[in-house]
Structures are given as structure tokens and as C-alpha cells.
Copies of this chain bind each other. A is one copy, B any other.
Amino acid sequence: MPKPTVIDTEFCPIAKSADVMGDRWTLLILRELFFGVTRFEAIQVQTGARPQMLTDRLRRLQHMGVILRSPYQQAPVRHEYVLTDKGKDLFSVLYAMRNWAERWQRDEGTPLAITYTHRACGHDVGLETTCPNCGKILEYGDLKGTPSLHGQSARIAKTDAFNMR
């Protein structure tokens, strides 16, 4: 058997990232947080996660320093969940996932789920990590998203279905 020559699981940054993101629910939760959805029920509606699953994943993300839980209301106390700087820095991972899936897992003729333009120069960035117009490396906050009609109505349908339960 060939002797591999690189790193071990514990030392390995891929394994460390996998400990945070190697979970489907967590990725969907992070997606919502990046969309600016911060409240438990709203995250639940859009991810389809059961409350216990969601609580478990949010606790874990909080424990890892990826999100903060802070009260937005007293009597009764209600919390919201927001990305820390460490969490916001996961943008590059989620954006790479989005670009990959839009390139390889999208049905022919289907529009991009969200079209992004570079705020600074107004140019459509397509599926690139640097702006094709001005060359800037695209970071969290640099992009303005316009959802496709299909995607928009699908999200509204989820909210409606949840409210009618």
C-alpha cells in the first residue's frame, strides 16, 4: 500500500471544517443566516428542520463561535441568531458551494436561483469569485442578490404552508 504523505484528521483543516459544516442542516441554517434570517421560527420554515434538530445545530454553531445568540425581546424573552466575524468568514465556503451547484447541478434552461451584482461597480458577477468587471475579490457584503421569480415564490409557499399547519 502506498504511504500517503500529508496530514492527519485531527491536524487537518478540512476535518476541522467538516466538524462544523459536514452536516446538511447546518449548511441550510448558515444559508439562512447569510440571507439575514435570524429568528428561530423563520429559519425553521425555510430549512424544514424540526425544532430539536435546529436547536441542536444552533447550539453547536454557538459553541464553535460561528454565531451569537442574543435577545431581541423581553417578556417573553426571544432570541435571534447572528453570524460572528468567524461565521461571516464562512461566506467563501458557501459562495463556492453555490457556484459549484449552479455550474453542475442546475437543470438546463433554469435561471440562476439568485443573480448577484457587485455593489461597488454594478456588474453581474456570474459564478465568479472575483468581479469579471473590476477584478476585486468578492467578499461577504460586496454582493447584491436578486432572486429569480421561481425561487422567490417557492420561499413564500413554504411560509404559507407553515402558517397553515
Contacts and interface: CB of A to CB of B under 8 A. Distances in A.
Interface of A: 1-19, 21-28, 30-32, 35, 37, 39, 41-42, 45-48, 65, 86, 89-90, 92-106, 113-114, 129-130, 137, 145, 147-148, 150-152, 154-159, 163
A17 B101 contact: yes
A154 B11 contact: yes
A132 B134 CA distance: 17
Nearest to A66: B104
The complex is assembled from copies of this chain, and their number is 2
B96 A7 contact: no
A154 B148 CA distance: 48
7 contacts: A6-B147, A9-B48, A12-B31, A13-B106, A14-B28, A18-B24, A95-B96
A145 to B, nearest CB: 7
